[in-house]
A and B are shown apart, each in its own frame.
Chain A
Amino acid sequence: MTIIDFYKQLSKLLTDTRENFLTKSQAEKKLEELLEEAKKNKLDVNIDPKILDQVNLMRLDDENSYRPESDYDFTSDDDSSYSY
């Protein structure tokens, strides 16, 4: 298993869980197996074992996910527009 295979399987698992194609226990079992396989293949990954919990699967909501990050130095200067 490569890290690409791992990501594809994780991605499918997240989608199937979110869309309720799998029951919670089915999804948890699949995640356990996937993490076991990753460990066997010595993949350098660190996945939250609770990634399938609803709170960790929240759809991106622009208002909730927006962080003002107001503590660091900002400007609203329109001339300086883009950095990489």
Chain B
Amino acid sequence: MLIVGSKALKFHFPNYKREVKDIDIIGYSDDVNTLCDLLSPTEVKKSKNTVLLKNITNKTDIFNTDNVEVLLADDSVSLRKYMEYDNVSLFASPEVLFSLKKSHINFPIKFNKHIEDYTLLYNHFNGIDYLDDVTKLNFKETEERLGKLKTPSLNKSVEEFFGQSDGYVKSYFIHDDIHRVMSHYDRPLYEMMQVDKNLAKCEKDMWNLFTFEDKCKCVLEEAYVIALERKILPMIFGGGKGFSSEEALDWALMRICTTLCSGWFRNFATNNYYDIKKLSNKNYVEKFLTEYENGNITRQSN
């Protein structure tokens, strides 16, 4: 069996601020029996791919949490490969931890916790994933388990693309107008990546010509628009729920890193999450409202 998750992370990075609440293990069904004998949990919850040992009564120096979760490797090729890679250690290596984290980071589950761990490991390896093939396999197996990670289709006209979210997002302002007033320069950065202005798709070759700072700014422009359009403006103009500007921006960045974007744009946002946040304008809502106040953007007629 192989200890993964925060317990293994703390083992390799003892100064890292991460509380170990539960212990995660990769193991076989036989390992579950061994652990039950050793730890005497009061409850064992089995599901197809995991077994949760609850309320451990015989805690040990290593197994010192209330719960232990076993990710079953019996039917998973990628999990078995991780066990083979680290076959001489009880604790998963940083290489395995990075591969595991990378294969899960774009799934919108406990994102704020995982992005911290991911950034630590990404910086530790300078972004190099030594188990890239296993990462891809684990991602695929995770999709089979949780459902395919779906992002909006981009090979569509602008009208069709934004039509996809009709019924989900009520518009108070025209999307392109929000982009215009929230841009860092005289026009939105996405416009500098479009070959065909009628298609929502942006080009990777043109993105590659951006400086690092402009890439961050491009992600931020997108995040401001998502935060405003989906959280802040519905609160001010549509009787929606109450969010602070920071919460709304965090949510928007989470969506960019998970299910609103894909491929190279999402990878950049995920890999540079904290650098992007550092560049953010904390007063982006005030900036938008100033433009509104000055008549540079007007409400969409209902």
Contacts of A62 in B (CB 8 A): 108-112, 251, 254
What class of interface size applies to chain B in its complex with A?
35 or more
Question: A75 to B112, Cβ gap below 8 A?
Answer: no
Contact pattern, A 45-61, Cβ under 8 Å of B = 1, otherwise 0: 11110011000111110
Question: A84 to B259, Cβ gap below 8 A?
Answer: no
B91 within 8 A of A: no
A34 within 8 A of B: no
Question: A4 to B236, Cβ gap below 8 A?
Answer: no
Question: B242 to A51, Cβ gap below 8 A?
Answer: yes
Question: B239 to A46, Cβ gap below 8 A?
Answer: yes
Question: A14 to B242, Cβ gap below 8 A?
Answer: yes
Secondary structure call for the A interface: loop
Q: If the complex has contacts A4-B293, A77-B262, A80-B263, are A69 and B241 also in contact, measured as CB distance less than 8 A? A: no
What class of interface size applies to chain A in its complex with B?
35 or more
Contact pattern, B 179-222, Cβ under 8 Å of A = 1, otherwise 0: 10000000010110100000011101001000000000000011
B55 CB, min distance to chain A CBs, angstroms:
24
Question: B264 to A51, Cβ gap below 8 A?
Answer: no
Contacts of B285 in A (CB 8 A): 7, 11
Residues of B130-173 at the interface with A, using a CB-CB cut-off of 8 Å, are 143, 147-155, 161, 164-165, 168
Contacts of B221 in A (CB 8 A): 84
Contact pattern, B 106-122, Cβ under 8 Å of A = 1, otherwise 0: 00111110000000000
Measured in the bound complex, the distance between the Cα atoms of B108 and A46 in whole Å is 31
Contacts of B150 in A (CB 8 A): 68, 70, 74-76
Question: A84 to B241, Cβ gap below 8 A?
Answer: no
Question: B204 to A56, Cβ gap below 8 A?
Answer: no
Contacts of A74 in B (CB 8 A): 150-153
B238 within 8 A of A: yes
Seed contacts A56-B242, A80-B154, A81-B265; 10 additional CB < 8 Å A-B pairs: A7-B289, A46-B238, A46-B239, A47-B235, A62-B108, A68-B147, A78-B263, A80-B153, A80-B201, A83-B190
